[in-house]
Structure 1
Amino acid sequence: MYETMQKKLIPALCFSLLVMTGVSSTQAAVSQAEANKLGNSLTPFGAIRAGNSSGTIPRWTGGDTTAPEGYQGTGDHHINPYPDDKPRYVVTAENLEKYRDVVPDGAAAMIQKYPETFRLRVLPTRRPHTAPDHIVENTRKNATRSSLVDGGNGVQNAFGGYPFPILHGSSEEKAMQAMWNHLLRWRGRWAEREYTEVVVVGGKYRGVTMRQEVFFNWNREGGSPETLDNIVNYYLSTVIAPKEYAGGGILVHETLDQVKEPRKAWGFSAGEVRRAPSLGYDAPIRSSGNLRTVDDTDVFNGALDRFNWEYKGLKEKLIPYNNFEITSDKYTYDDVLDNQHLNPDLTRWELHRVHVIEATLREDARHLYHKRVFYIDEDSWNVALVDQYDDEGNLWRVTMAMLKNFYDLPGVWTDLEAYHDLKLGIYHVTGLINETEGTRIFKDEFPGKRYFSPFTLRRRLSNY
């Protein structure tokens, strides 16, 4: 089975799409009085500044931009700044019921599926997320001017920050606003990295290594809602290894409203550059063993129109957080990848407040998943976990984003995602960096729109 799958998977190009979005209004923005809570009772990004009553979630004290000892420059993000932290407790199959209220359903299902090997090491909760001053200022402006448009499939009058730091309106509107905060969350202006993705079948895997470059037009210096030109990011990915597939890749122009104007994509391989067919929703990513759909990438991306959305509230849940060990160059891929899941001794879980969002497939729409439940970190607006259900209501797939703080971004983002299929007992991981030269490198300059053109792809082919 493994060899057969690899023949199908390796030639397929990775599509690790990093999404942003935004465009024409369904609800009014919040009042200035409400917006004034930002930076006071709320963090600048809309999270509750105070800790919880039991003290297990601390107060947010401004975030953390201090690099740990041994940090030698941009890209050196794998050093654990909390080496002395010890687990508060470990959730296992034996004590799951004791902690069931704070364990998301997908994580509980993983424990029940793999009772001998899967567990949650719960360490002290830390809240390091922050962002530069211009993101703080833009977020404050967005709070009183942003609105959903086109039935929630776009955003207008927002730029360069979180569009909805204070959720408001109906349950559906709050849910969509939270998803847009994920889609448009702060991830810098220009990010580069090399990483490897694998499908693990019975403990065996073979990696595909990619080079990824993303310019977040949403955060372009000097930009505004009027200057986006309907593009929120430019994405370019090139296969580096194995050698027989090196030089292939994909270019994406991520549009604002993907119902009105689908994203533009081009694939290149063997000296050819071709416009890619419609790339969105539940189209499978073959290099993931079809364990990841296009809109699974970056944990979630793309249009919201095929689901009904419901906001389930702000709840305390265990999520992967501050995961430096799992991406450390102290370990090999063999150390990181267990037979059915990531090595639990290298993962870190923390108790955080999360926005819980439920998406149910519309009766007139088609999608591989019938229901999806998203757990969104209140501080950074990253989707940390997703539970995905089949059309019979069974929990089918579980997505986990290994969030961590990037010192010189600054801010919390994910370096690695794992996609588990509970039916097949196999999983897919993208973002492995342990055996590459480094993690994400963040830059401020913009190489120009021509850099992200189909012509650029042709020039790149000459390097392979």
Structure 2
Amino acid sequence: MKTTKVLRVGVLSLSLLASGVMAAVSPQEAEQLGTTLTPLGGQKAGNADGSIPAWNGGLKPGAGAYNNGFLSDPFAAEKPLFVITAANAAQYKDKLSAGQMAMFQRYADTYKIPVYPTHRTAASPQHIYDLAKKSAVTTGLSADGNALLNFSETRYYPFPIPKSGIEVLWNHTTRYRGQNFQRTSAQITPQANGSYSVVQMEDEMAAPQYMQGVGKGQADNVIYYYKQRVTGPARLAGNVLLVHETIDQVNEPRMAWQYNAGQRRVRRAPQVAYDGPGTAADGMRTSDNGDLFNGAPDRYDWKLIGKKEMYIPYNNYKLQSPKLKYDDIIKPGHINQDLTRYELHRVWEVEATLKQGARNIYAKRHMYFDEDTWALVEVDHYDGRGQLWRVGEGFQMNDYENGIASYAMQSIYDLTAGRYIVLNLLNESPKGIQYGIQASMNDFTPAALRNDGIR
């Protein structure tokens, strides 16, 4: 069996090299990183009128209090510069997505976007900057765009100077998420009237480069290992999901298993991919809606439209505060927008169109990625008729203690149903995200799932 696996991996590597088209930039072009560009590829200079300032290194540890994994708000004293409402949205539509404009139309009396001064807070550890610069000149893209070549030594930000839409997406997929973490969070899918119940989850993620017991070459095609336990409500408690997230998910698909507490059985879970139903989501999101987009890119054509200035969720420290209760956040139709913060930032605009003959409930996704972090912050989802259906937002905040672009939460609004889902709420959790945990391969095997299920 070991020989067979080695042969399979070897054949895969050879096929990728044979079909690969190197997309790395020249060493001269890579010298822009850290000079005219930020170390991760954002435009270092501000915009013409100064409403977007120059990047000066971002927030450093100590920028605010850090208690039990929760970040305090360095900008708590600031007030909005202005508030966009349905009455004045047309005035700002060139800096809003179609989805944001649709939210004003759908919830004209309650939806708003408070716009604050822009702060370019993104910062990562120096070794991540070094790896991104190395990736720029060494990492390539396979001809079909579904695999990365020469990526196993760097593992982050393969295309900090992107030339195509698929390269922008790969930067989001492989962005730095910290050194192994554990999290206790909530997922909520309110009814149209705002009533809700809470799905409680514990999850953990580990990357091969920060794990014990991973041999050389053993996990070259793995980005991370992920495990999710549902702890409430009682009818769902004890169900566990395990994912081995691969880089090339076409030739070596994502491996997923589920433990069902009621049946006490571990089974393969091929449905945990593409538009398979999200865990305990009441039909309000797909598997690939997690992280606003995750998984294999092969079912879409990815068009890079370019850069634009846009009002996006940014520095949402208030929204993750443990002083808030879920009742403060969850409201009919959409979250409490008074708790949100939007700023003017440059984004990469990418349009994903479903390939002829491919299947996904979303025929098109219009996507906006923050230039400083590569995090996906706005996504407009279109159905097979070409109608705008769902609007996704990532309420970004930059973890200044750990050098990570994170989300205070994510939301997906269904314009047709008048409902929405929020993911990864932490406010009522006993502690914030815990980074730097010890992890080994033994923690992420199908055999370990039964021990993780608690009912």
Structure 1 length-normalised TM: 0.90
Residue type at the aligned position of 1:458: R
Contact 1:67-1:81 at 8 Å conserved across structures: no
Q: What is the CA distance between 1:438 and its match in structure 2? A: 2.2
Partner of 1:44: 39
Residue type at the aligned position of 2:144: G
Structure 1 alignment gaps of length 5 or more? 1-21, 169-173
2: CA distance between counterparts of 1:138 and 1:50?
A: 23
Structure 1 residues 34-74: Cα deviation after superposition (integer angstroms, max 9, x where no partner): 0001000000000000000111101100111233454235x
Partner of 1:450: 442
Structure 2 alignment gaps of length 5 or more? 1-12
Q: What is the CA distance between 1:220 and its match in structure 2? A: 6.3
Residue type at the aligned position of 1:263: R
Q: Are residues 142 and 327 of structure 1, via their aligned partners in 2, closer, same or farther at CA, if it must alter by over 3 Å?
A: same
1: CA distance between counterparts of 2:265 and 2:33?
A: 50
Give the counterpart of 2:182 among 192, 195, 198.
192
Contact 2:155-2:223 at 8 Å conserved across structures: no
Q: What is the CA distance between 1:226 and its match in structure 2? A: 4.8
Q: What is the CA distance between 1:306 and its match in structure 2? A: 1.0
Partner of 2:60: 65
Secondary structure of the 2:70 match is coil
Q: Are residues 153 and 281 of structure 1, via their aligned partners in 2, closer, same or farther at CA, if it must alter by over 3 Å?
A: same
Matches within 5 A, 1:432-443: 432-443=425-436
Secondary structure of the 1:139 match is helix
Matches within 5 A, 1:272-421: 272-285=265-278, 287-421=280-414
Q: Are residues 346 and 259 of structure 1, via their aligned partners in 2, closer, same or farther at CA, if it must alter by over 3 Å?
A: same
Residue type at the aligned position of 1:30: V
Residue type at the aligned position of 2:180: W
Residue type at the aligned position of 1:296: N
Residue type at the aligned position of 1:196: A
Structure 1 residues 398-420: Cα deviation after superposition (integer angstroms, max 9, x where no partner): 00111001122212221311010
1:76 equivalent in alignment to 2:66: no
Partner of 1:11: none
Q: Which segment drifts farther, 278-287 or 428-437?
A: 278-287
Q: Which segment drifts farther, 281-290 or 367-376?
A: 281-290
Contact 1:187-1:409 at 8 Å conserved across structures: no
1:163 equivalent in alignment to 2:154: no
2: CA distance between counterparts of 1:209 and 1:155?
A: 35
Q: What is the CA distance between 1:105 and its match in structure 2? A: 1.1
Contact 1:236-1:249 at 8 Å conserved across structures: yes
Aligned CA-pair RMSD: 2.0
Partner of 1:18: none
1: CA distance between counterparts of 2:223 and 2:310?
A: 31
2: CA distance between counterparts of 1:415 and 1:295?
A: 19
Contact 1:398-1:420 at 8 Å conserved across structures: yes
Q: What is the CA distance between 1:446 and its match in structure 2? A: 4.1
Contact 2:244-2:255 at 8 Å conserved across structures: yes
1:131 equivalent in alignment to 2:117: no
Secondary structure of the 2:138 match is coil
Q: What is the CA distance between 1:164 and its match in structure 2? A: 0.4
Give the counterpart of 1:178 among 144, 168, 171.
168
Contact 2:61-2:402 at 8 Å conserved across structures: no
2: CA distance between counterparts of 1:121 and 1:391?
A: 33
Structure 1 residues 112-141: Cα deviation after superposition (integer angstroms, max 9, x where no partner): 110100010000111111111111111110
Contact 1:124-1:350 at 8 Å conserved across structures: yes
